[in-house]
Structure 1
Amino acid sequence: MGDGMNQLPPDPTLEEIPAWRWLVRGKRLLKIAGILLLFLGGTLLVTLLYLKSRPLPPPDIPMTTKVYDIRGNLIDQLDRGEHRDPVQLGEVPRHLILATLAAEDQTFYDHFGLSLRGIARAALVNLREMRIVQGASTITQQLARNLYLTSDRTWSRKWKEAVLAVQLELHFSKDKILEMYLNEVYYGNGAYGIQRAAQTYFGKPAKRLTLGESAFLAGLPRGPKLYSPYTSMERAKRRQHAILDTMVRAGWITPSQAARAKAQPIALAPRPKPSPSKAPYFRDYIIQTAINRYGLRESELRGGGLRIYTTLDIKMQRQAEKAVKKYLGNKDGLQGALLAIDPKNGHIRAMVGGKDYQKSQYNRVFARRQPGSAFKPFLYLAALEKGFTPVTRLESKPTAFPYEGGIYRPANFRNQYAGRPITLREAIARSDNVYAVHTHFLIGRDRLMETARRLGFTSPLKPVPSLALGSIPVSPYEMTRAYAALAAGGVLTEPVAILRIEDAEGNTIAESRPDRRRVASEAETFVLTHLLRSVFESGGTGHRVKQIFPHPSAGKTGSTDWDGWLAGYTPDLAATVWVGYDRAKKLPHEEGRLAQMIWGTFMQRSLAGKSVRTFSVPDGVKGAYVDPETGHLATKRCPKVRWEYFVSGTEPKEYCPLHPSPEAEKKGGGSLWDWIRKWLPGL
């Protein structure tokens, strides 16, 4: 037999042994699995880092902005149709947080934005139906959807929602996400966010909610209409009970606490009614000022949860609106405007842009209309600066004034003239047009335009003869600003409406800064003020005002065929009233006078109860008794005597030639001190 007959088969390799073969294959699979895990882990890490590096759009949770008056009273609230008041998580009770978690996401603090268990359950249902019929949204996913997406039931939307939820978890803490959710979610009946929901349903802030009330509100977001207590209180209570039971099972409250909360009656607050703005024209002006002056976006104003502190005085605003309504309310088509400013600081205290905001939102405070004689004080301030005095006399008679454009023939109201020389005081009181135009020519027509510019007028002005009579349109805003400068002794302060604006966290993001400058001397301004007081005296064009408002005040009426004005001031308040028709319709003289009635009524009611202050005499002013007929220093023989103020150096030096008094001349009298000595010879 050959050797091959006795040859043994070779020993098997390790790979040929079945058990070992499976072990080797297992190792290979483990290696592959390890590689896959590393790959997946790396991919996940890279994905998370990528998502972390990708900035989220700023969370746009519209918060209601609130506007306050000078005393902290609420004027109005601005929103985008979603009335929402911001609240911080630390300001709400713990049982409200737990009730919310029980209702929406019990594992909120354990997941990373997605609930795997919920996803698996929902996926099975959706695959069976071959469409999305069930969601597994966590609180984070709900927030992502509400902030950035729509509520469409599509696979692409769910994928985007999941990605955004992870991003939210990467960028914000759990507490911040929950806070945003509580501020964003809709609770029905116009209540966006938990703070507004607490006010809407229970008339209290969220921090004062009881356990029962918290569970009740926590049940609403799942179906604001379905669980609305106004639709079905029984259904809303069942939802509340289910949430309380969930809280018991989670160990967050005891059964006895749940029982007491279930037994607590749900005392709903009366359904809120939308309240109109207390100052709608002013509110609109605030919005425009915040946008144009401080650079805020309107979306930020209406949804940023800002607090805007303004200069408005609600009490004065109410009186302004009442006065306008009282005299214009039953006049079809007749409109009016009123603006009041504190001359000491430029603060706008009241603004009425029309008699009915619901019918017309056009703010006539900024409409340009012919001011008529209400513009004359700026002419006479320029004249005082050029050497005029209260006793400067000019003829009051029909007069023709030649100029480069032809002949200008001004006329007085109803062609009434004194037919003699009259003083500046008399011209102001009577509103003599011939005197005004004569003054305009004497001082140089450019002078009035330059003075008006100094006092803040920005409307296009031309040095035409009729400018002296207020023929070029200006706005009540400009008029009030200029009159306030007169009330402040020649210091122009730019009107201020906004004191400061705070963001939702209380940080100041805008603040007014005083803009004041001297535009006229204190002495000349005071003399003009003293002259303007005669407008409200007997014989003055505004004498009716004195019967309503007896306080020391100065002002000027104005009238054209289309406009009625009164602008005036006290040391504490400057106000302008305009009345007229929006379109080219003539204004009867009787209706034009309503501006005076509105002004007097507003001033009387606004300053009622306040101490009466008069205009203090500044340095550079000298007073003397004069004979109004001659303008000279009065003697004891003068039948009429008037105390008059002059800019020092311009006062009369000679005694009245028509009523000489040698005794007074010998004493060198004429001053107040001389008159005191005359009546008290022992001094």
Structure 2
Amino acid sequence: MNIKRSIKIILWSCLGLFLAGCLALATAYGLVSASLPKVDTLADYRPPIITTIHSDDGTVISEFSKERRILVPIVRIPRQLIHAFVAAEDSHFFQHRGIDLMSILRAAIKNVMAGGIRQGGSTITQQVAKSLLLTPEKKFSRKFKEAILAWRMEQKLSKDDILFLYLNQIYLGHGAYGVQAAAENYFGKNVEQLSLAECAMLAGLPQAPSRYSPYRHFDRAKRRQAYVLSRMLEDGYITREQMEVATADNVAIHPRNNRQIPGAAYFTEQVRRYLEETYGSETLNTAGLKVYTTMDVGMQQAAQLAVQANLLRHDLRRGYRGPLRILDTEQEVAFLAEQETQFPQPPEKGSLVEGVLVGTRGHNAIVRIGSLTGTLPLNKGLANKLRVTRRGTSVKKVKERVISVPAGSVLQVKIEQSSDKNLLLSLYQEPAAQGAFIVLDPHSGGVKALVGGYDFTQSQFNRAIQAHRLPGSAFKPLIYAAALDKGYTPATIMLDTPIIYREQDEDGTEKEWKPKNYAESFTGVTTLRQALAHSYNVVTVKMLQDIGVGYAINYAKKLGIESPLNRDLTLALGSSAVSPMELATAYCVFANGGVRIKPVYITRIVDRNGRVLESTDPADFPAGPAADQKLIKQSPQRVISPETAYLVTNLLESVVQEGTGFRARALQRAIAGKTGTTNDQKDAWFVGYSPKLLAVSWVGYDKERSLGPRETGSRAAAPAWVDFMQTVLKDRPRHEFPVPDGIEFRPIDPATGLLIPEDSPNVTIEAFASGTAPTRYTLETQQPQAIDFFQLDMENN
């Protein structure tokens, strides 16, 4: 009797506990349920995705993101990849309704036996709920919420919908979120191209992406892959033969191309700054914008290489500056011992490393790199300026650009040939000077290439846009253009003769200014064309005095110069600082026939849904742009006549064919250009253009100092321009500069600037705007019709 009563009490107690548990669970559900996020929000899944920057042909040149994620629809994800993740993470995924009680129980038992948390029992659905709807805190309350949300998700979403969320959201190591980003990261492929072995390796990552990283721990990744394949076999997704083939597959890891085009950093940084200023950092890094730019990848790479090669040549001309440091015997032993661990294998060809100079052998210096020995020929490159002395002597200059350094010196060297036995080296030093390079389509304003310095990783200062430097003689074409619109012609006779300008300071002190030419000599009678071709300073100053400084300044501003300009005659010699981009904009007016345009970097911006936010094409906004859309207007403005623009271009062709721009003749094409050199050779320029392309090259030191004797625009800047143009114009058709209808050609005597019979021995065919050609012949007068500025001054006084 007592036994029966005891059994009843136990049963009723169990029932009571069960009902109490149910009531508590129901109460907890009621309390928690109302505060849970809506599962419906997952239908509009909008995770952070990368913003991509594209070149003019659609190539991805850069990307910005917080989480590197590329959304892929479930139909693109191969079933074997899905099966691999399901087998590894949630083998009953296709059977349960969000919660797998058996997996939870099994995980609980294992954790109890292990004395801590070793295995989780969360389903794929629960992982999605945790990732997208909850915080990552490790509490029972969170697990309870996770289970409720997982059950709700299974009611609202299909299995494929849940897999789409899971496989695009999950973190798989090395900055990759989702299977597409991971496939690119580890195998350099799209998900559709993955083999079974690769699928299994990816599916092994979620448990511990860093522990099973194929980059860092390939053996561990292989063991985890084998586990995934065995689970796929057990669940019936693959056959034993498929498993064995996949296990034996020698998976090759191909690190993702980081999609940063070499040498494009200055351009993409300019685009990034605009996007951040316009849309904000959050949108830039999470909204998945597609930004299409004007950059030509080939031109960009050619421009960067041309700048670097040119600066290295300049550095070579200036000579070796000396070792990085000098070590005593004890320091040298420690340094080489440390290098032995750094270089267990010989450094790769082309790499830059530090080595210790230990002595000479014949005409070679001997350099140690760890346990390796390198040979540095002393008759090549920078090493031609190097003299090796015994340990303990000091570094000193032997003669101009030749320097002696002692044994024990640490040198930076480049690996020219690499082997276990010996290394062939060349002496290297980072150029001290800097350069800038801009390439524009003068007709559209599209920036095709932009280089702001030798190396973006060393200096992010963009000298092409942010630096303001004296243009020197590169400013003269703007003065000449202004003079042509004041009645001058290419045949106008000028006097290249000495002149003295006197002025008084505020304290009454009289000062003199004697402008002089670079060669410090005077030519006498010369035509305007010859004066520009040979960059005569005095002629330009006299011409500026005649047309007026105020007029010239206003003229330069309408061409695109925005920087303040000196209101004195030194303006003729480029004494006012401008940016390379300003100068490029002004020259575009000459190159395109007289129209001012603004430089353009971006042609189109599209959001993640394919909606156009900005575009240069009105067809993208058939009904006009909405409030959050923008038509990028070029708004071209004619600022000078086609005839004046052509005459300047024609004059600048003479600079190339007869004058200081002679290096550009190597292209054997129609080229117009102008060199620029400032006092003491602190800045060197070459601005030039073909009928379809304009480029600006600048060289100088950030902290202004001389580039060195004879380092003019022709020598220091023009070679980069020529290198670039030879590369990009090589396979392009040849064009001539178009001649406007209002241009006339007449036979001229260059000694007088007057007409001359066409069969005369010294005839020059000169270009004139309609109605400006001389009407008299040179035989009618024997005196050159030069402008006498001394007489003008007397008449004015």
How far residue 215 of structure 1 moved from its aligned partner, in angstroms, is: 2.8
Code of the residue aligned with 2:641 in structure 1: it is S
Q: 2:763 aligns with which of 632, 641, 665?
A: 641
How far residue 564 of structure 1 moved from its aligned partner, in angstroms, is: 0.6
How far residue 40 of structure 1 moved from its aligned partner, in angstroms, is: 6.4
Query: How many residues are aligned here?
Result: 623
Code of the residue aligned with 1:433 in structure 2: it is N
How far residue 412 of structure 1 moved from its aligned partner, in angstroms, is: 2.3
How far residue 480 of structure 1 moved from its aligned partner, in angstroms, is: 1.1
Q: In 1, are the aligned partners of 2:37 and 2:133 still within 8 Å (CA)? A: no
How far residue 109 of structure 1 moved from its aligned partner, in angstroms, is: 6.0
Distance 1:254 1:563, change over 3 A: closer
1:89 corresponds to 2:74: yes
1:317 corresponds to 2:417: no
Q: In 2, are the aligned partners of 1:638 and 1:659 still within 8 Å (CA)? A: no
Q: How does 1:246-645 map to 2 (within 5 A)?
A: 246-247=231-232, 250=235, 253=237, 255=239, 259=243, 262=246, 265-271=249-255, 277-278=261-262, 279-292=264-277, 295-329=278-312, 331=315, 332-366=431-465, 367-401=467-501, 409-414=513-518, 416-418=520-522, 420-512=524-616, 513-515=632-634, 516-538=636-658, 540-546=659-665, 548-561=666-679, 562-592=682-712, 593-635=715-757, 638-645=760-767
1:63 corresponds to 2:64: no
Q: How does 1:183-222 map to 2 (within 5 A)?
A: 183-188=168-173, 191-222=176-207
CA RMSD of aligned residues (A): 3.9
1:672 matched to which residue of 2?
A: none
CA distance in 2, matches of 1:184, 1:521: 59
Distance 1:608 1:355, change over 3 A: same
Q: C-alpha offsets along residues 83-124 of structure 1, whole Å, 9 cap, x if unaligned? A: 444322221112212222222234556767655665566678
How far residue 339 of structure 1 moved from its aligned partner, in angstroms, is: 0.6
1:558 aligns to what SS in structure 2? strand
Gaps of 5+ in 2: 1-15, 316-430, 617-631, 783-797
How far residue 72 of structure 1 moved from its aligned partner, in angstroms, is: 3.3
CA distance in 1, matches of 2:502, 2:157: 79
Q: In 2, are the aligned partners of 1:86 and 1:504 still within 8 Å (CA)? A: no
How far residue 186 of structure 1 moved from its aligned partner, in angstroms, is: 2.9
1:67 aligns to what SS in structure 2? strand
CA distance in 1, matches of 2:512, 2:157: 76
Q: In 1, are the aligned partners of 2:589 and 2:596 still within 8 Å (CA)? A: yes
Q: In 1, are the aligned partners of 2:77 and 2:192 still within 8 Å (CA)? A: yes
CA distance in 2, matches of 1:106, 1:233: 25
Q: In 1, are the aligned partners of 2:32 and 2:145 still within 8 Å (CA)? A: no
Code of the residue aligned with 1:333 in structure 2: it is A
Distance 1:103 1:410, change over 3 A: farther
2:648 aligns to what SS in structure 1? helix
CA distance in 2, matches of 1:659, 1:143: 96
2:375 matched to which residue of 1?
A: none
CA distance in 1, matches of 2:499, 2:149: 82
Q: In 2, are the aligned partners of 1:408 and 1:465 still within 8 Å (CA)? A: no
Distance 1:659 1:197, change over 3 A: same
Distance 1:388 1:369, change over 3 A: same
Code of the residue aligned with 2:62 in structure 1: it is D
Q: How does 1:45-64 map to 2 (within 5 A)?
A: 47=34, 51-52=37-38, 61-64=47-50
Distance 1:372 1:230, change over 3 A: closer
CA distance in 1, matches of 2:780, 2:758: 12
Task: Name the stretch that deviates more: 373-382 or 512-521.
Answer: 512-521
1:98 corresponds to 2:83: yes
Gaps of 5+ in 1: 1-28, 661-683
Code of the residue aligned with 2:602 in structure 1: it is I
CA distance in 1, matches of 2:542, 2:704: 30
How far residue 631 of structure 1 moved from its aligned partner, in angstroms, is: 1.1
Distance 1:207 1:586, change over 3 A: same
How far residue 187 of structure 1 moved from its aligned partner, in angstroms, is: 2.7
How far residue 537 of structure 1 moved from its aligned partner, in angstroms, is: 2.3
Distance 1:417 1:481, change over 3 A: same
2:745 aligns to what SS in structure 1? strand
Distance 1:210 1:386, change over 3 A: same
Q: C-alpha offsets along residues 272-324 of structure 1, whole Å, 9 cap, x if unaligned? A: 686864212112122123334xx233344344444333222222222222222
CA distance in 2, matches of 1:389, 1:95: 77
Distance 1:128 1:223, change over 3 A: closer
Distance 1:273 1:209, change over 3 A: closer
CA distance in 1, matches of 2:155, 2:501: 82
Code of the residue aligned with 2:717 in structure 1: it is A
Q: In 1, are the aligned partners of 2:233 and 2:240 still within 8 Å (CA)? A: no
Distance 1:109 1:497, change over 3 A: farther
1:537 aligns to what SS in structure 2? helix
CA distance in 2, matches of 1:478, 1:510: 25
Q: C-alpha offsets along residues 615-659 of structure 1, whole Å, 9 cap, x if unaligned? A: 111122111111111111112575421111111111111111367
Instruction: Mark the structure with the bigger radius of gyration.
Output: 1
Q: In 1, are the aligned partners of 2:39 and 2:153 still within 8 Å (CA)? A: no
Distance 1:38 1:160, change over 3 A: closer
TM-score by length of 1: 0.80
Higher strand share: 2
Code of the residue aligned with 1:321 in structure 2: it is Q
Q: In 2, are the aligned partners of 1:56 and 1:167 still within 8 Å (CA)? A: no
CA distance in 1, matches of 2:562, 2:452: 20
CA distance in 1, matches of 2:711, 2:519: 20
1:483 aligns to what SS in structure 2? helix
Q: In 2, are the aligned partners of 1:51 and 1:167 still within 8 Å (CA)? A: no
2:711 aligns to what SS in structure 1? helix
1:73 corresponds to 2:59: yes
Q: C-alpha offsets along residues 126-170 of structure 1, whole Å, 9 cap, x if unaligned? A: 899998665433334434555577755345665676687689779
Q: In 2, are the aligned partners of 1:86 and 1:305 still within 8 Å (CA)? A: no
Q: In 2, are the aligned partners of 1:448 and 1:463 still within 8 Å (CA)? A: no
CA distance in 1, matches of 2:717, 2:152: 62
How far residue 59 of structure 1 moved from its aligned partner, in angstroms, is: 6.7
Distance 1:393 1:231, change over 3 A: closer
CA distance in 1, matches of 2:270, 2:646: 32
How far residue 199 of structure 1 moved from its aligned partner, in angstroms, is: 3.2
1:5 matched to which residue of 2?
A: none
Distance 1:232 1:597, change over 3 A: closer
